[in-house]
Amino acid sequence: MAVSRERADRIARATACPRCREYTWKRVRLRDAGPGDRHVGAAWSVELTCGVCDAHVQLAIDDDGDVVYLG
Ligand SMILES: [Zn+2]
């Protein structure tokens, strides 16, 4: 895998909450993106919970370390 778990974690935490634009995540859950994931080509699938507005955010990271989905 081109992007390590550590790096994926850093990328996820460096992404602003799409709702309140803060970077304070109280929960970050990473897992390998599988064939059942809707984001084709993603290496990591991340679930984040915002520590400010409590939004639940889904994020996908590809093999280049780019965020290919945020919602
Ligand atoms: Zn937020």
3-state secondary structure of 6: helix
pLDDT digits (tens, 9 = 90+) for 10-62: 999 999 999 999 999 999 999 998 877 767 789 999 999 999 999 999 999 99
C-alpha 67/C-alpha 45 separation (Å) is: 10
**CA 21 / ligand 1 centre spacing (Å):** 6
**CA 46 / ligand 1 centre spacing (Å):** 15
**CA 28 / ligand 1 centre spacing (Å):** 13
Instruction: Assess whether pLDDT exceeds 90 at residue 1.
Output: no
- The pTM assigned to this predicted structure is 0.88
pLDDT at residue 26 in the model: 98
